[in-house]
Amino acid sequence: MSGLVLGWVFDFAFKVMRFLLNEEVFTCLYCHVFTADMLFLGSLMVRQSSFILLLLLASFSVYSQENVKVSALDNSRWAFSGDNTLCSIEHEIKGFGIAKLIAEAGEELRLELKSNEITNLTVLHSVYEISPVWKSNNAKFIDSLGDANNSNATGEIIVNKAGAIFERLKSGSWIKVIINAGRQLNDEIVLSNINFEAPAEAFVACRNSLIPVNYQQIRNNVFYFDSGSSDVSKNSHRTLMGIAEFVSATQSISKILVDGYSDSQGRTGVKLRMSRERAEEVASLLIEYGIPRSMLQIRSHGDRYPVEDNAEAAGRQKNRRVSVRLIKKSVVGRS
């Protein structure tokens, strides 16, 4: 059995060397081919070649299922960037691409893996918390993550509700993400927490300063009214305050369209007047909460463009409305 022990020693040494001496991508297959040579030499010493051969075949069948991609220890970096709408820390993985943890206003934290190797066949297999390479291996499956989606167009896999990944890295663990692109070998994407502490602190501070909502959540809003009334509900007040806060914080909105509508009840003049009063009431609240009057475009449509059937009370309720749409500034000509 001394040959087997010798093989294990060389196997461990080779795993350590791959982190310390080389920035290229390693595979467990290569690692165990090296082990195979060492075990074969050891088997000659103890004349147990048949037994060792069986072990080698078993080892090959197990470890040829993953293609490990990880940055070398001396080249492992995390970079922070962020503002009051989005915070991120990213990690380059040699031979694969970029791993990025993102916190966006109004959203839960997500993990994005970006690589030219990601196709529409690529699927997330599993995510594990693992020990650093210099400690005893202790892999733990992380089951508290959200759905995973991939995009062939952008070369991305997005793992939603990824707060647990950030917390594990922050506590000193590493992360192993196993994906498969329809090939025989899985890909193991390893995220180390080397040089993670300072960017993580900046990331936490950034998350604490995020505004409550993002553009996608607030770009289109609809407010409903009682029959014959232009009073804005308390819940609508809070939403309008959120719109004003977003516009003030981001400086990315060029125009706000405020459109008033009525149901089909009453004379034409009455319907036009009610739709106008409702639109102006919403606009006046936006101005009160800090929106410049010059940004607002107010229009009234009476009972035109119904979204539901006016023959039913529930339908008329949906048609008595004001829509508020945010238009972003054009970025044409900007770098």
Interatomic CA distance for residues 328 and 94, integer angstroms: 37
Residue 235, pLDDT score? 92
At 318 the pLDDT is 97
Residue 86, pLDDT > 50, answer: yes
Q: What is the mean pLDDT of the chain?
A: 82
- Assess whether pLDDT exceeds 80 at residue 12: no
The pLDDT assigned to 83 comes to 92
Q: How far apart are CA 318 and CA 262, in angstroms?
A: 9
- Judge whether residue 113 has pLDDT over 60: yes
The tens digit of pLDDT for each residue in 195-237 reads 999 999 999 999 999 998 999 999 999 999 999 999 999 999 9
**Mean pLDDT of the region 249-255:** 92
- Tens digit of each residue's pLDDT (9 = 90 or more) over 153-176: 788 999 999 999 999 999 999 999
What pLDDT was estimated at residue 16? 45
- Tell me what pLDDT residue 11 has: 54
Which sign does the torsion angle of CA 59, 64, 65, 66 carry? positive
**pLDDT at residue 319, rounded to an integer:** 97
Query: Of all residues in the chain, what percent carry a pLDDT higher than 90?
Result: 63
11 Cβ neighbours under 8 A, 6+ residues apart: 31, 32, 34, 35, 38
Written as one string, the DSSP assignment of 266-326 is S-HHHHHHHHHHHHHHHHHHHHHTT--GGGEEEEE-TT-S-SS-TTSHHHHHHHSEEEEEE
Least confident of 10-24, 34-48, 107-121, 176-190: 34-48
Say whether pLDDT at 333 is over 80.
no
